[in-house]
């Protein structure tokens, strides 16, 4: 897939679409999600034209990690959630709907019924096999 320079996040970066900004510098922009899962649901994007994490230049990662930490801390203070979820999806099959790299930072509280895990635990032997597949590429 070729990066679409007219996606909504590219338009937000260029000032062609509105957003409610949280944090911004030369490398990143953070703003409120317009379709929040919970109050405080915040998005964080790099100011770089990439659909996914695989094509982002290394110098952006420090700025993204710092911003995620700062925003998560601020959400924790502002909403007093029992948890903060940081989620990032790569590709349609992973659930990505806007094809500009972005992170969701979402306050979570007891009673919210999010399910991002299987309902049954997997045998550790199976987990080891899957881990080895990933480790060989690190």
List b or e across 11-30, with b for residues whose CB sees 16 or more CB atoms inside 10 angstroms. ebbeeeeebeebeeeebbbb
pLDDT per residue over 77-87, tens digit each?
999 999 999 99
In this predicted structure, the answer to whether residue 112 has a pLDDT above a threshold of 90 is no
Q: Active-site residues: which are they?
A: 102
Where does 8-112 sit in CATH, by number?
A: 3.30.428.10
CB 64 within 8 A of CB 29: no
Where in the chain are the domains?
Answer: 8-112
CB atoms within 10 A of CB 52: 18
pTM of the model: 0.87
Residue-wise DSSP of 87-99? EE--SGGGT--S-
């Amino acid at each position: 897939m070729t990066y679409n320079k007219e996606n909504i996040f590219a338009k937000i970066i260029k000032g062609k679409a509105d957003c409610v900004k949280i944090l911004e510098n030369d490398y990143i922009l953070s703003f409120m999600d317009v379709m929040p899962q919970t109050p405080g649901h915040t998005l964080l994007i790099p100011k770089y034209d990439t659909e996914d994490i695989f094509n982002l230049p290394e110098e952006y990662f420090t700025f993204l990690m710092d911003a995620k930490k700062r925003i998560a801390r601020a959400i924790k203070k502002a909403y007093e959630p029992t948890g903060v979820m940081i989620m990032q999806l790569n590709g349609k099959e992973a659930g990505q709907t806007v094809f500009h790299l972005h992170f969701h930072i979402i306050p979570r509280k007891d009673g919210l019924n999010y399910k991002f895990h299987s309902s049954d635990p997997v045998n550790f032997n199976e987990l080891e096999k899957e881990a080895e597949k990933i480790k060989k590429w690190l």
